Structure 1
Amino acid sequence: MEKDEFFLKRIRELANLSYQRDIVTFSDFLNLNEQNMVSSLKRQFPQIVMETFGGYENAERQMVAFHPDALAFTWEYPIDCLKIEPKAIKFSESLTHRDYLGALLNLGIERSVIGDIVVQEKAAWFFCQNKMTDFFLDNLCRVRHTNILITKVDDPDELPRPKLEAINGTCASVRLDSLISLAFKASRSSMVSYIEGGQVFVNGKLITSNGYEPKEGDIISVRGKGRFIFDGMSHQTKKGRCGVRILRYI
């Protein structure tokens, strides 16, 4: 509880600083629960715009930017993207998201300075606060037992694009618990605890109702399981079940 109160105090300070000095202020990278907490404060600061971005479209971990409603100058998020590749692919290990995150945290940094880590085949991309870029370039040289090369990505076309797996199926109704069970190949009853336990977010907003009905295009995240896009209904079966399509991040 004290941790949450300290976090909200810091968010209020950033919002007030933006308003008082007519500048843009930025949070650290926030997880979904923290983003939801920030969203709950918006009404307290009607004169401040709160926007989020994580370095690429639909990022899960995002920064919040605070700026006055009538801001007259352009600005950018202080985010860089760095790419990690093995020095010798032939001798490299099969590395996971956990391996890359562990190597970064072993440098003694806080999780809040790092955004998403996107792993694809033998490479990984991660987003960070730009004030940390040189530190990572100078100090990250190995992930597990694999010697690596790390470079800054300057070309937007080289930014990672998450891969999506299409899942088609049917459910009795387009409810949150039904879609989650389909996405993660689990029983609907086993997913209830995730929803009621505050581990499910729709477009970054905490949802605790099993009967919530997502809209087409909504991004649904389940902590500890993954996330997916509800791509809409495709048809209705003769027995009245709903044919749905899901795009799961892999």
Structure 2
Amino acid sequence: MNEDKLIVAIAEDKIMQCQENYMITNTGFLDMRQQTLCRKLLRNNAEVKGFFYGGYPDAERRITIFIPEYIEAETEEDLHEYFLKNKEDNPLTLIRAKHNGYKDLSHRDYLGSLTAMGIKREAIGDILVDKEGADVLVLREMAEFILINYGKAGRTYLELTVADIEHIAIPEGRVVEKSDTVASLRLDNVVASAFGTSRSNAAEAIKGGIVFVNNLQVEKPEKLVNQGDKLVLRGKGKVILKEIGGSTRKDRIFITLMIMK
């Protein structure tokens, strides 16, 4: 069974458990491509209440979570509020790692040391790094194991605690604003502008499945984008289409982009 079919099969099993046992169920953490697969599954199962949840609104790695009818949540924001009031139901735990080392640790340092312990990638969500340490989102069933066994990242010792998810520390990234004009609001045009590549290269990347709009994989270069959309080109970064303006005399469209560094 290939990876895509396995992801769908796991999600289908979690849906069945939710419906038969009237309980919250969830997958492991999914990347944006895998979330797209589960989104398609949810579209074909309209009677199922399913959401994507990563612990904070802009999370990139998220679980697909299925909830029974007694939980009154209609949006992902509603679900987040529900977990703030019912912490015992939250399938995620926030682990805060602090260090006193002289060398700054990177995302790769934390992720590499966790997976070196045998922890599967689907048990680990976003890792938000700052100079003093990192906030690491994990599946709740892995939290105790990590707290007991995870003591070092590279050669740097760590001090671990459990923190409330509502107090997650989101690092302030450097944002560069860019203004440009595009022939149309087709995805390939905007991706080419945002990431400084040709339209043909942008279209190839989109067809290759490495471009995501609002965390969903999009493979059609002609898709139109909207103000506020978040665009990700895997390996290149993240951009938000901040503003769509008027048109030039040659009918090109003014756009403003927020480029996350």
Deviates more, 1:192-201 or 1:120-129: 120-129
User: What amino acid does structure 2 have at the position aligned with 1:82?
Assistant: I
Is 1:146 matched with 2:156?
yes
1:82 alignment partner in structure 2: 95
Map of 1:186 onto structure 2: 197
Q: CA deviation at 1:105?
A: 0.7
- 2:36–2:217 Cα contact (<8 Å) kept: yes
The list of structure 1 runs, each at least 4 consecutive aligned residues, that deviate by more than 6 angstroms after superposition, is none
Q: Residue 37 of structure 2 corresponds to which residue in structure 1? A: 37
CA displacement 1:47-68 (0-9 Å, x = unmatched): 2111111011121111111123
Partner residue, 1:226: 237
Whole-Å separation in 1 of the counterparts to 2:232 and 2:146: 28
Q: Which of 94, 97, 101 matches 2:111?
A: 101
Q: Distance in 2 between matches of 1:18 and 1:193?
A: 39
* 1:52-91 correspondence runs (5 A): 52-71=52-71, 76-88=89-101, 91=102
Question: In the alignment, what sits opposite 2:6?
Answer: 6
* TM-score normalised per structure 2: 0.84
Deviation of the 1:42 alpha carbon: 1.8
Unaligned runs of 5+ in 2: 74-81
* Equivalent-residue separation in structure 1 for 2:197 and 2:133 (angstroms): 30
Asked if 1:114 is matched to 2:124, the reply is: yes
Contact 2:49 2:67 in 1 (8 A): yes
Q: 1:16 deviation in Å?
A: 1.2
Instruction: Give the aligned CA root-mean-square deviation in angstroms.
Output: 2.4
Equivalent residues, number: 247
Residues 96-118 of structure 1, C-alpha deviation per residue, up to 9 Å, x if partnerless?
22222111111111000001112
The 5 A counterparts of 1:127-142 are 127-142=137-152
Question: 2 CA distance for matches of 1:155 and 1:41?
Answer: 28
Pairwise CA distance, 1:139: 2.0
How far 1:178 sits from its partner (Å)?
2.5
Distance 1:160 1:247 in 2: 17
Q: Flag the 1:209–1:122 CA change in 2: closer, same or farther, 3 A.
A: same
Distance 1:183 1:61 in 2: 22
Q: CA deviation at 1:22?
A: 1.6
Q: Is the 8 A contact 2:128 2:135 kept in 1?
A: yes
TM-score w.r.t. the length of structure 1 is: 0.87
Q: State the alpha-carbon separation in 1 of the partners of residues 201 and 221 from structure 2.
A: 12
The 8 Å contact of residues 33 and 217 in structure 2, kept in 1 or not, is answered as yes
Relative to structure 1, the CA distance from residue 235 to residue 43 in structure 2 (aligned partners, 3 Å threshold; closer, same or farther) is closer
Contact 2:206-2:218 at 8 Å conserved across structures: yes
For structure 1, which segment, 46-55 or 200-209, has the greater mean C-alpha deviation from structure 2 after superposition?
A: 200-209
In structure 2, how many angstroms separate the alpha carbons of the residues matched to 1:241 and 1:102? 46
Which consecutive unaligned segments of at least 5 residues does structure 1 have? none
Partner secondary structure for residue 41 of structure 1: helix
